[in-house]
Amino acid sequence: MEAIGTFLMDQVLKMQWLSDLIAGLLGAAGLDTASQWGGTLHFFIYDTIKIVILLCVMIFVISYIQSYFPPERSKRILGRFKGVGGNIAGALLGTVTPFCACSSIPLFIAFTRAGLPLGVTLSFLISSPMVDIASIILIMSIFGPHVAFIYTVVGLVIAVAGGTAIEHMGLADQVADFVRGEAVEADTSETMTRRDRVRYALGQTGETFRKVFPFILVGVAVGALIHNWIPQDVIEAVLGDGNPFAVVLATLIGAPIYADIFGTIPIAEALFQKGVGLGTILAFMMSVTVLSIPSLTMLSRVVRPKLLAAFVGVCLAGMIVSGYVFNWLQPFV
């Protein structure tokens, strides 16, 4: 069972086979993927294809299912996902989806299109890149079980609180119209054939792809450059000991970087060994995984500026407050 779980995690969800295939093709073309330019090209091609596959598969599946459920029926079924309970469910769902922030956006679109409340989908969007089972195990192996537990709890609290706060701001109308798709009327839904439903799902997938793809290219291109060209020692130098603004700086410095939690942990380990505060490290890791410029570039196509600003503001506030609290608590941990 463990081998099956590992296979599904690595080869199906993370698409490691795709990364290996692209690395092999680039190597055959004479490019060293360990070099900066080779690594940048590998990152760009792999992430673009991976995100497009996720986007198209998820939107097609959700749209096909949605063809059976007119808006009225969907609202009745999904009505149970309300309040903090729905946000907790969304945050916990994020822990079993090991995606970076950019890869989580197609699922955010799919869940929104399925009719889930905005707060629930945002709790998922915050939690998914920040906390997952594999990263928890890796953090535990490096920093110990207490740090892994703290990181997990803080991540889930921020996800639940962030989704809940934005839900109460009444910003549901700030999601782009194309994200919700074209609803199927009740009468039409009853008479559609399987071919009609496939055609409907393909149409919805194509429309979403056309709207989002340019932003995927821009976002991944920025991420590829940042991922391979920002030296780790620059980050470590800025977050030195005794700086009262270290948590704020860590959060702001982390935001432009594009990496998943696995790419962030080695930097966090180096910072930890240099005596940087635990709260500062937690804030940095969360900022890198949730608020990267590439992911926000893609998200800006999906939501309107007011909702984007609320999302960034709530996440930043949660990360900074948590960072200072856990720096203060570190002697007792």
State residue 309's pLDDT score: 93
The answer to which of 13-27, 156-170, 222-236, 241-255 has the lowest mean pLDDT is 222-236
State residue 285's pLDDT score: 82
State the average pLDDT over residues 76-89: 71
More confident residue, 326 or 11: 326
More confident residue, 270 or 79: 270
Query: 3-class secondary structure for 196-228?
Result: HHHHHHHHHHHHHHHHHHHHHHHHHHHHHHHHH
More confident residue, 263 or 191: 191
Judge whether residue 263 has pLDDT over 70.
no
The answer to which of 64-73, 99-108, 175-184 has the lowest mean pLDDT is 64-73
State the average pLDDT over residues 288-312: 86
State residue 37's pLDDT score: 86
Tell me how crowded residue 328 is: count the other CB atoms within 10 A of its CB. 11
> Where does the pLDDT of residue 308 fall: very low under 50, low under 70, confident under 90, or very high at 90 and above?
very high
Task: Mention every residue, 6+ apart, whose C-beta is less than 8 A from residue 75.
Answer: 115
More confident residue, 216 or 313: 313
User: Half-sphere exposure of residue 232, counting CA atoms within 13 Å on the CB side?
Assistant: 11
Judge whether residue 328 has pLDDT over 80.
yes
Q: What is the per-residue pLDDT across 194-222, written as a single tens digit (0 to 9) for each?
A: 888 899 889 888 887 887 788 778 767 76
What is d(CA 181, CA 58) in angstroms, rounded to the nearest whole number?
13
Report the Cα–Cα distance between both ends of the chain, in Å, rounded.
Answer: 35
Judge whether residue 306 has pLDDT over 90.
yes
What is d(CA 171, CA 31) in angstroms, rounded to the nearest whole number?
47
Q: What would the DSSP string read from start to end of 257-308?
A: ----HHHHHHHHHHHHHTT--HHHHHHHHHHHHHS-HHHHHHHHHHB-HHHH
The structure tokens listed for 108 are 């955010």
Alpha helices for 70-132 (secondary structure H): 71-78, 83-94, 101-113, 118-130
Amino acid letter for position 200 = Y
More confident residue, 262 or 248: 248
The angle formed by the CA atoms of residues 33, 34 and 36, to the nearest 5 degrees, is 85
pTM summary value: 0.68
> Where does the pLDDT of residue 21 fall: very low under 50, low under 70, confident under 90, or very high at 90 and above?
very high
State residue 261's pLDDT score: 64
State the average pLDDT over residues 59-71: 74
- C-alpha distances out from residue 96 to 14, 91, 132, Å: 12, 10, 6
